[in-house]
Each structure stands twice: as structure tokens, then as C-alpha cells.
A = this chain, B = another copy of it.
Amino acid sequence: MASVRETFRVPQGPVDLTAIDPRGRPTGPKDRAAAAKAVTELGTRLDAGQEALYAEGAGGGTRSVLLVLQGMDTSGKGGVISHAVGLVNPQGVQIASFKKPTAEERRHDFLWRIRKQLPGAGRIGVFDRSHYEDVLVVRVEELVPTDVWQARYGEIREFEAELAAQGVTIAKVMLHISPEEQAERLLARLDDPHKRWKYNPGDLDARARWDDYQEAYATALELCDSDAAPWYVVPSDRKWYRNWAVAAILAETLDEMAPAFPEPDFDVAAERTRLLRSTNPSS
């Protein structure tokens, strides 16, 4: 059976996002109850993997994980962070959200603010949006000249290859939703006073250019997918399926890394003796 990552990996060559069903369930649980059970099991696997990675880092290891989350508004980047990333010990996680760049950030290369947020050794970094915005919104809204954003695909490939060589295991996930599902979610945001703060009138401007965004995504997926920095497309119209899929991709990624608990740099038997002699120091 194909692994979860193989199933969701973007196919080689030109990418046709209309051929991927946002309500599809190509592998894994078929309903919400099965997903809940699978996610509980994934939580245990993720916890174990995260702790070993953290320990490896504490012992001098330099490896880390970088999970990049991209998707149209309401596709569930925040939901994935709460329900999939939230399965692991928050001490081992570094989350960075990339919003509209500040004036200072715009004065630097587009990767400048990204480099500052890379995960430390032993950590799982999560990017809520990322350097891909610089070939998505920036391309669709023509915020820079064409030759500038066109050059970025190569710059991103080089950047990610450099990270991989430094021990960063990268997994990039596009949360793939349909425009119909987005309409329902935006409506739910408008109608629920507890969700209204997430709504931004600008979301409708991006929505109006849906096809342009899908085209920009397709180009980024095609040009920036590699074995060192793979792109996954996760059908995300069903939230429970989306959360399961990202948790499973992360768990497989950690499993394959097989992080190792470090060997002690002290004499265990001698410390045991010292400890037993020390018992109850205050009596």
C-alpha cells in the first residue's frame, strides 16, 4: 500500500488542481469516527517522535522538521495547527505566521523574514503561510515586476535545498478547498459573532481571483516540488479528513527520520551511586 505521503504527493509535471477532488478521501479513514480513532493513535506516534527529535537536539543533533501550510482563506491552516500540530508537546513546536510584510521586511530579500523563523535543532517548525506567498498573492496582485516573482521559484528551490542539506526535513502542504466550501465557511464567519473576528473584507477580493490563485498554486507546486522539499495536496473540504491527513504526513515524516535518543555523556552507574547516597538531603 502506498504511504500517506505518496498518496498526497503532488504528481510530477504540470499540476491540474481541478483534477484533485477537495472532498476526496484517497486513503485513510472514511468517516469522522474512524478519523477520531486514527488521530488518537497518531497523537501517540507523534508524541514519541517529537520527544525523540527533541532529545536528539538536546544531545547535540542538528535535525529539525519544517511543516509549511498554505491554502486559500478558510482552508484551515489554523484548524490544522490546533488539531494536528496540537497533538504534540508545544515545547517542541515553533509556530510562525507570515502576514503582509512590514515596511522593514519589505526592505529585505523575501527570504529574510523566513530565515529568522526557521526551527531550532530538535524542533518542529510550522509555517502558517510562508515564502510561497511571494509567488502567490504577490504574483496574482502584481506586487512586484514579473521578472522578480518569476526568479523566485528558482530561489525557493535553492533555499529549500540548502535547508535540507543543513538537516531540515521539509513537508509542504496545500490545503485544497473548493470555492463552494469557502463560501460556506466565510458565511459561517459572518453569522457567528465568535467567528466574525476572523473575517476580513479583503478575503472576497482574493476569492474573486480564485482561478488566478489556483494557477499560481499550480505553478508553485510544479516548480518547487522535490524529494528534499515535497509538496502534498490535502483535500480539505472535510475538516476531519484534513486534520487526519496532516497529522499522518507529519507522523510519517518523523518516523522516517527515526530520531535517536542520545547516549549519556556521563557514567550512569556512578551517577546512580551518587544519587542513592544523596537521598533525602534535607533530613
**A interface residue numbers (CB < 8 A to B):** 51-52, 55, 58-59, 78, 81-82, 85-86, 89-91, 93, 95, 97, 128, 179-180, 183, 186-187, 190-191, 193-194, 196-199, 201, 204, 207-211, 214, 261-262, 264, 266, 268, 271-272, 274-276, 278-283
A278 in complex: contacting residue of B199, B208, B214, B274, CB < 8 Å: B208
CA distance A3 to B198 in the complex (A): 33
A78's partner among B91, B191, B271 (CB-CB below 8 A) is B91
**Known: A55-B197, A264-B196. Is A179-B275 also a contact (CB below 8 A)?**
no
In the bound complex, CA of A121 to CA of B267 (Å): 46
Query: A197 to B183, alpha carbons, bound, how many Å?
Result: 50
Q: CA separation between A231 and B191, bound complex, in Å? A: 41
Q: List 16 A-B contacts (CB under 8 A).
A: A55-B198, A82-B89, A82-B91, A86-B89, A90-B95, A91-B97, A91-B128, A179-B279, A183-B279, A186-B275, A196-B261, A197-B261, A199-B271, A201-B271, A208-B278, A211-B282
Asked if B268 and A190 make an inter-chain contact with CB atoms under 8 angstroms apart, the answer reads yes
Asked if B261 and A179 make an inter-chain contact with CB atoms under 8 angstroms apart, the answer reads: no
Residues of B within 8 A of A261 (CB): 193-194, 196-197
Q: Is the CB of B282 within 8 A of A190?
A: no
A281 and B207 form a contact (CB under 8 A):
yes
Are B89's CB and A274's CB within 8 A?
no
Which chain B residues lie closer than 8 Å to A204 at the CB level? 271, 274-275, 278
CB atoms of B271 and A179 under 8 A apart: no
Taking a contact as CB atoms under 8 Å apart, the answer to whether A272 and B197 are in contact is no
Indicate which residue in B82, B89, B183, B279 contacts A280 across the interface (CB closer than 8 Å): B183
Chain B residue nearest in CB terms to A193: B261
> Whole-angstrom distance between the alpha carbons of A271 and B203 in the complex?
10
Chain B residues within an 8 Å CB radius of A271? 190, 199, 201, 204
Q: CB distance B89 to A59 under 8 Å?
A: no
Option from B187, B193, B275 in Cβ contact (under 8 Å) with A275: B187
CA distance A197 to B61 in the complex (A): 12
The 4 A-B residue pairs with the shortest CB-CB distance in the complex, in nearest-first order: A82-B89, A55-B197, A210-B281, A90-B90
Contact of A82 among B59, B90, B191, B276 (CB under 8 A): B90
A201 contacts across to B, CB distance below 8 A: 266, 271, 274
Q: What B residues does A179 contact at CB under 8 A?
A: 279-283
Contact of A279 among B180, B199, B214, B275 (CB under 8 A): B180
* CB-defined contacts of A280 to chain B, threshold 8 Å: 179-180, 183
Task: For A210, list chain B residues within 8 Å (CB).
Answer: 281-282
The closest CB in chain B to the CB of A51 belongs to B194
Residues on B with beta carbons closer than 8 Å to the beta carbon of A281: 179, 207-211
